[in-house]
Amino acid sequence: MMADTAASTGSSNPATAKIDVRGVSKRYATDDANTPPVLDDIDLTIGDNEFVTLVGRSGCGKTTLLNIIGGLVEPSHGDISVNGRLVTGPGEGKGMVFQQHALFPWLTALHNVGFGCRNNGVSAAESDRISRQLIELVGLQGFEDKYPTELSGGMQQRVAIARALATDPEILLMDEPFGALDELTRLEMQDELLRVWSAHKKTVVFVTHSISEALVLSDRIILLAARPGRIRREFIVPFPRPRQRTDPQMIALYDEIWRNLA
Amino acid sequence: MRNSRIIGGLTLIFLLVLWQLAVTWGFLKPFQFPPPSRIGGAVVELATKGFPNNQHIWTHVGVTLWRIIQGYVLAITVAIPIGLLIGTVAVLDKLTLPIITFGRSVATLSLLPLVIIWFGTGELTKVLLIAYGCFWAMLSNVIAGVKYVDPVMIRAARTLDTGRLRMFVKVVVPATLPRMFVGARMALGVGFMVIVGAEMIGTIQGLGALIMEARTFYRSDITIVGMLFIGILGFSISTGLSWLETVLLPWNKGLEEVRR
């Protein structure tokens, strides 16, 4: 099941590479010289509209890698390019969803979703129109004027997804977005995300430590090893969506990934 | 909730009765511990005849309130922009930290002699003293509010192409508002602490002056009335501020409940 990137999905051959991670290493300033780096010489190519998950144990650097791709953290070595252009900072077509919803508590759901549009000079009326559509897409119609504290954890994360989608970014980066939710809500949100993703095709990089979540969602699973943070293996998930969590083939792949993690 | 209020009220009445009886039976001297009946009498005296020199209680309350409002508003309008600036610019924060720590530590009333030399014994001196006390309480809260804006908010805003100006106006300032209200409440407390001292000099109007004059005439009952009115005034304004906060920051209500 060892895959090379080119063959991972039909849409992700290097010619249409969306995200290109080249020789990225990261060492934090607070680490002493003997500590292995958080990320060590990572090479990764992600295709257009590909859904990739980064999976690994806590501390394997998956969130750091996501933040580097997102332009929030600078790599110690190496670089990232999107559409062949070097990433120098956050935003610019890279939407992000965090583990904590990170919504602005002083804005209503509607205005949280429209925040990026307003930054880009979209008129208030147009921003509201886009936001209403997205709120409907994530199934929250009727909650437009609620403040984040008035929403449940799952609803907050739906707003956060809508907010990240509002500026229509080409790339969606998601850092354990469902990690803080209860199991039922989590399963619901996975289906929801796939539905949203099929309506708005994007390149998605999704960090999780749940193998089953990665299996349900992604085209390709990147397994990271910790300290030094390296890509241990890649797995293609070839099954058509929607996927049955109890499908024997899914379970077989789950076992294989699990063996590689241990 | 209702029960506890009733019990609280009954306890208060019980203590007042006990106090009255303790004076009647001679355990407490009325000169040192004027009984509730005397204090009630003093209230009536202040409301009808007035003290000292026929100054009615409402004059005292009004004058004190006006001084506090002037000093308080002055302090807050100066502290907010300065605090936002210091909190935003890390170098300024480092540079001003010793000054602020020093300024806060100087007990406001110890400045009284100096301020009198500078500005005389008129209204300005009183207002400035109140402003001085309120200023530091407000300033340090505004600075802390800016410095401790949840970094997750900043990150999220950065991923949404937020420019520098909008980051400040649309993220940092609103995120700082709850802390500003904390500062405003603390500053108000300081204002009421300073007022009694500030009114010791050059006036017979105001609750502070009332308390001082009462001391000269050994009227401990009037002193207690002055204390009572300061307490009522402080409580009312503080309640007003809380109400203002729920109106202006409706989104903050849930957050505070979570923090508790």
The reported pTM is 0.82
Those of residues 56-85 in B touching chain A at CB distance below 8 A are none
C-alpha dihedral (A79, A82, A87, A90), degrees to nearest 10: -130
Whether residue B16 is found in the same domain as residue B135: no
CB A102 within 8 A of CB A161: no
Q: Quick one: B171 and B216 in the same domain?
A: yes
Rounded to an integer, what distance in angstroms lies between the CA atom of residue A224 and that of residue B202? 76
For residue B26, the model assigns a pLDDT of: 85
Q: Is residue B139 domain-shared with residue B177, that is, in the same domain?
A: yes
Both B146 and B17 in a single domain?
A: no
- Per CB-CB distance under 8 Å, the chain B contacts of A147 are 250-251, 254
ipTM over 0.90: no
Task: Give the count of beta carbons closer than 10 Å to the beta carbon of residue B202.
Answer: 14
Based on the fold, state whether residues B52 and B75 are members of the same structural domain.
yes
Consecutive H or E run containing A43: strand A39-47
Residue A150: closest CA among chain B residues belongs to which residue?
B254
Q: What is the pLDDT of residue B48?
A: 83
CB distance B67 to B237 below 8 Å: no
Rounded distance between C-alpha atoms, residue A16 and residue A49, angstroms? 10
Burial B175-192 (b: 16+ CB within 10 A, else e): bbbbbbbbbbbbbbebbb
- Kindly state whether residues B27 and B39 are assigned to the same domain: no
More confident: B217 or B54? B217
| Amino acid identity for residue B67 in this structure | R
User: Do the beta carbons of residue A26 and residue A44 sit within 8 Å?
Assistant: no
* Residue range A188-201, pLDDT digits in tens: 889 989 988 988 88
The rounded Cα B92 to chain-centroid distance in angstroms is 28
Q: From CA A113, how far away is CA A162, in angstroms rounded?
A: 6
Residues B17 and B105 in one domain: no
Residues B189 and B126 in one domain: yes
Closest chain B residue by Cα to residue A120 = B161
Chain A, window 60-79: residues with a beta carbon less than 8 angstroms from a chain B beta carbon? 70, 72
Q: Is there a single domain that holds both residue B178 and residue B91?
A: yes
Mean pLDDT by 10 residues, chain A (262 residues): 42 65 87 83 91 90 92 92 89 90 93 92 91 90 92 92 91 91 88 88 92 93 88 91 89 91 77
Among the ranges given (B57-71, B73-87, B153-167, B211-225), the one the predictor scored with the smallest mean pLDDT: B211-225
Closest approach of B140 to chain A, Cα-based (Å): 22
**Which residues from B are below 8 Å from A164, CB to CB?**
159
Write out the residue range of the structural domain in which residue B12 sits. 1-33
Q: Return the structure tokens found at B98.
A: 């010793």
Question: How large is the average pLDDT for residues B101-106?
Answer: 88
What's the mean pLDDT when you consider all of chain B?
88
Give me the pLDDT at residue B254, please.
58
Among A residues 106-145, those touching chain B with beta carbons less than 8 Å apart: 106-107, 115-116, 119-120
What's the pLDDT tens digit per position in B167-213? 999 999 999 999 999 999 999 989 988 988 888 887 888 888 888 88
- CA–CA separation, B99 vs A114, rounded Å? 42
Asked if A8 and A220 touch (Cβ cutoff 8 Å), the reply is: yes
Which residue of chain B has the CA closest to A72? B155
Tell me the C-alpha distance between B29 and B41, whole Å.
17
- Assign A143 to helix, strand or coil: coil
What is the domain count for chain B?
2
What CATH number has the domain bearing residue B61?
1.10.3720.10
- CA distance to partner chain B, nearest, from residue A29 (Å): 19
My answer on whether B17 and B42 are in the same domain is: no
pLDDT of residue A9: 43
Cα-trace Rg, chain B: 23
Judge if B29 and B39 occupy the same domain.
no
Helices (H) and strands (E) in chain A, counts: 7, 10
Q: Are residues B4 and B97 in the same domain?
A: no
CB A12 within 8 A of CB A5: yes
A251 in B contact zone (CB under 8 Å): no
Inform me whether the C-beta atom of residue B174 falls under 8 Å from chain A C-beta atoms. Answer: yes
Quick check: A102 and B153 CB within 8 A? yes
